[in-house]
Amino acid sequence: MIKKLFFLISILFFSCSDSVEQLRASGPVFGTTYSIIYDSDINFEAAFDSLYFEINRSMSTYITTSDISKVNSNIDVFVDHHFESVFLTSKEIYNTTNGQFDPTIGAVVNAWDFGPEGETESIDGQKIAELMRYVGMDKVTLNEGVISKPLATRLDFNAIAKGYAVDVISEFLESQGIKNYIVEIGGEIRSLGQNSVKNSKWTVGVQNPNLEGNKAYANTLSLENQSMATSGTYRKFKIDSEGNRFTHIFNTRTGYPSRSNILSVSVIANKCMIADAYATAFQAMGVEAVSLFLQKYPELKVFIVYVSEDNKLEKVVFNGFPLN
């Protein structure tokens, strides 16, 4: 469930007031990049780095000593509060989506060479069927900090952890009294207040999935005190020896890469980890299924770019997702 999401944070620095100091921090993290802009007299970069370290130590499948790596290796460990928060939210979204969002798909992801452990030499129906026996968040429980699961079940929070990290940084800034900020990690975004330098709302753009077109963004919008995440399949995919195209979004019922006609899904929600997880689930569900699902969840605003039956790019919005 490794994703790459593509946004542009549009910030214009025309000074409106000498009393406002807008600070920026950016760099590599979690195998991607981050960008944080906030109003403060204090530089919080050291605090950001410390929080990134904690989250990596808890949930990075690329670090062999992390909590999640120990859990996957069946080593006894008391998971921390970061792990617990993401686990419980994952359970909730697993249930609401009837398993379309499922962090236990990790071993299958690895088998298709989309994960941290490299390629499985032989991938066939029998191998997938064997791995799928251990897929399902209903097989995993958390009790007083201890995870219980089948020995072969693997957890992978890559489809929600970046969104969670955005929430952690955002909530830290709010705890420090920051009223204006925008936090972006690997395309996952959360904002509060406004761009005080420009004296306007924070503006973000969703990249156009038509990479050969001359229009860079499929949509731009103002993000007001909310979070947004996007899942896309138009960059990260593999092609086998027979020319078949496989995306990194998996059908959690079959163990095979999804063949949805959806190219990208953007979700606006109050928390970024919720937007992050649902964006992945909706990518696998298909437009009609998403439409039915969202009738029950009006708090989720969704923007989808997909390929129509006549091979044209189409856009559809749900629950008032803003369009420009």
Q: Which domains does the chain have, with CATH numbers?
A: 7-318 (3.10.520.10)
| Higher pLDDT among residues 279 and 220, named by residue | 279
| Higher pLDDT among residues 248 and 324, named by residue | 324
Instruction: Give the pLDDT mean for 216-230.
Output: 85
Of 67-76, 152-161, 228-237, 279-288, which gets the smallest average pLDDT? 228-237
pLDDT per residue over 103-150, tens digit each?
998 777 777 765 554 444 456 777 788 888 889 999 999 999 999 999
pLDDT per residue over 28-45, tens digit each?
999 999 999 999 999 999
pLDDT per residue over 158-190, tens digit each?
999 999 999 999 999 999 999 999 999 999 999
Share of the chain above pLDDT 90, in %: 63
pLDDT reported for residue 233: 61
CA distance 9 to 242: 39
Predicted model pTM: 0.85
Instruction: Give the pLDDT mean for 204-223.
Output: 70
Name the band, by pLDDT with cuts 50, 70 and 90, for residue 4: very low
Name the band, by pLDDT with cuts 50, 70 and 90, for residue 202: very high
CA distance 215 to 196: 28
Name the band, by pLDDT with cuts 50, 70 and 90, for residue 11: very low
Among 64-73, 116-125, 225-234, the range of highest mean pLDDT: 64-73
pLDDT reported for residue 114: 57
pLDDT reported for residue 151: 94
pLDDT per residue over 289-317, tens digit each?
999 999 999 999 999 998 888 888 889 99
